[in-house]
Every structure is written in structure tokens, then in C-alpha cells.
């Protein structure tokens, strides 16, 4: 059996530079926030409060977009 379906999900993101190495990820719709002391701390973490956003950061960090 094959079940086909489509999901419409719209999202947006804003990145704001801050002083210092701290990274904060916030989700307004989920009303959740996660803070990391640095990019290295985010990359080393095994679990994330906002795992999709953390994985997107991890993806781009591997490509050195943030350096």
C-alpha cells in the first residue's frame, strides 16, 4: 500500500549577531528556548531542546558558514 500526502509548513528564521560566543535558539510557536555557551558546546551536545534547529546549525557549521 502506498499513501501519498503533502504537508504545507511555512517557517522563517532570523539570525542576529551578538557579542560573545553564546548561541540562543528560540521557537516562538513552541514557546521553547535553548542556550549554549558556544558553537562548540552546541556541536558537542547529545540532546537538544530544539533538535531541528540545532541540526540545521550543525549542518552549516560543518561547511564553515559561521566562521
Residue 8 domain-assigned (yes or no): no
E strands of the chain, at which residues? 23-27, 32-36
Residue 3 domain-assigned (yes or no): no
Residue 38 domain-assigned (yes or no): yes
Residue 37 domain-assigned (yes or no): yes
Residue 55 domain-assigned (yes or no): yes
Residue 50 domain-assigned (yes or no): yes
Residue 50: which domain range?
23-62
* Segment 32-35 long-range contacts (CB within 8 Å, at least 24 positions apart): none
> What pTM was computed for the model?
0.72
Q: How many domains does the chain have?
A: 1
Which of left, alpha, beta for 65 (phi over 0: left; psi -120 to 50: alpha)? alpha
Residue 45 domain-assigned (yes or no): yes
Q: What is the pLDDT of residues 11-59, one digit of tens each?
A: 778 888 889 999 999 999 899 999 999 999 999 999 999 998 999 888 8
Residue 28 domain-assigned (yes or no): yes
Amino acid at each position: 500500500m502506498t499513501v501519498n500526502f503533502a504537508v504545507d509548513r511555512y517557517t522563517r528564521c532570523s539570525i542576529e549577531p551578538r557579542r560573545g560566543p553564546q548561541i540562543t535558539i528560540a521557537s516562538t510557536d513552541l514557546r521553547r528556548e535553548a542556550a549554549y555557551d558556544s558553537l562548540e558546546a552546541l556541536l558537542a551536545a547529545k540532546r537538544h531542546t530544539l533538535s531541528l534547529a540545532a541540526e540545521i546549525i550543525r549542518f552549516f557549521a560543518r561547511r564553515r558558514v559561521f566562521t
